């Protein structure tokens, strides 16, 4: 029987559908954060009582093309000190126990251009709960406050998610041919790994953001799939 699939949406995140399907995934169990752990983690960054402070979220991957949370403003920004890389192995969302996939994270060094989303203060806690159920499903990311430079040059404090290098699913840098094979073949409960890559590249292009490494990887994956 083929594994159940689901789209990432506000509903599937809010209702815990993604978490439920992930926990039912066949194969070796993946340790997932409980509802209580997710809430505790979010509260350590955004208090329930937050009502007078807008929250900025820096997206660098699928958040750009499918945020699934409410916001009132988005704009380009540049983060220094971290670079976008396929550094997280997944056997759930874009991969399987038989063929693990690779998804993006922020790894140390370099810089990253992405998108800032502003969440109004009055709904910040609620919307961040949605984000936590997506980004913190397996606890592989470290929620972090970072300073980013907006497109107009203004420095803004933003929330983002950095890869935990000590997490079991952390993927060290590998030859392009290895990551190409993984991304070209892997598929998980929310879709194929290559779809994730192609959508991210397309979204970055639409925003006028150049990422030559991602562009090269995308071309190599397409070539692999067509060979």
3-class secondary structure, 168: coil
pLDDT score recorded for residue 2: 43
Round to whole Å and give the CA distance between 18 and 10: 11
Determine the pLDDT at residue 23: 84
Among residues 135, 185, 195, 207, the one annotated as catalytic is: 135
Helices 176-185 and 193-206, packing angle to 10 deg: 110
Helix (H) or strand (E) holding 160: strand 155-163
Q: Taking the domain 10-90+103-171, which CATH number applies?
A: 3.10.490.10
The reported pLDDT for the residue numbered 139 is 96
- What pLDDT is stored for residue 28 in this prediction? 64
Residue whose tokens read 């949370």: 69
Q: What is the DSSP string of 59-110?
A: E-SHHHH---S--SEEEEEEEEEEEEEEEEEESSSS--SSS-EEEEEEEEEE
98 catalytically annotated: no
Contact residues for 214 (Cβ-Cβ < 8 A; gap 6+): 84, 197, 200, 201, 204
pLDDT of residue 52: 81
Question: What residues contact residue 34 under an 8 Å CB cut-off, 6+ apart?
Answer: none
Whole-number pLDDT of residue 1: 38
pLDDT for the residue 146? 98
State the CB neighbour count (10 A cutoff) for residue 107: 21
Structure tokens at 19: 């978490």
For the chain, give every domain's residue range.
10-90+103-171
Q: Which residues of the chain have pLDDT under 50?
A: 1-3
Structure-block tokens of residue 134: 């997506």
Looking at residue 5, its pLDDT comes to: 72
Sequence length of the chain is 227
Q: Kindly write down the DSSP assignment for every residue of 119-130, as one continuous string.
A: E-GGGHHHHHHH
Q: Which pLDDT belongs to residue 121? A: 95
Contacts within 8 Å (CB) and 24+ apart, 14-21: 14/129, 14/130, 14/133, 16/133, 18/93, 18/133, 18/134, 18/137, 18/189, 18/190, 19/133, 19/137, 21/189
Kindly report, residue by residue over 37-88, the tens digit of the pLDDT: 999 999 999 999 877 899 999 999 999 999 999 999 999 999 999 999 999 9
């Amino acid at each position: 029987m083929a594994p159940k699939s689901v789209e990432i949406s506000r509903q599937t995140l809010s209702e815990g559908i993604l978490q439920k399907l992930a926990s039912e995934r066949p194969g070796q169990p993946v340790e997932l954060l409980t509802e209580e752990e997710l809430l505790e983690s979010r509260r350590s960054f955004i208090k329930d009582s937050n009502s007078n402070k807008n929250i900025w979220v820096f997206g660098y991957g699928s958040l750009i093309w499918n945020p699934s949370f409410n916001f009132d403003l988005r704009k380009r920004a540049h983060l220094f000190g971290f670079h976008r890389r396929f550094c997280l192995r997944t056997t759930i969302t874009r991969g399987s126990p038989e063929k693990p996939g690779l998804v993006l994270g922020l790894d140390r060094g370099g810089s990253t251009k992405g998108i800032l989303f502003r969440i109004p203060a009055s709904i910040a806690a609620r919307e961040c709960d949605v984000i936590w159920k997506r980004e913190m499903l397996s606890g592989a990311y470290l929620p972090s406050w970072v300073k980013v430079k907006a497109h107009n040059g203004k420095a803004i404090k933003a929330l983002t998610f950095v890869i935990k290098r000590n997490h079991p699913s952390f993927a060290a840098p590998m030859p392009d041919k290895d990551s190409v094979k993984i991304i070209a073949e892997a598929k998980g409960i929310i879709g194929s790994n290559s779809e994730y890559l192609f959508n991210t590249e397309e979204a970055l292009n639409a925003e006028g953001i150049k990422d030559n490494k991602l562009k090269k990887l995308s071309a190599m994956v397409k070539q692999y799939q067509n060979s």
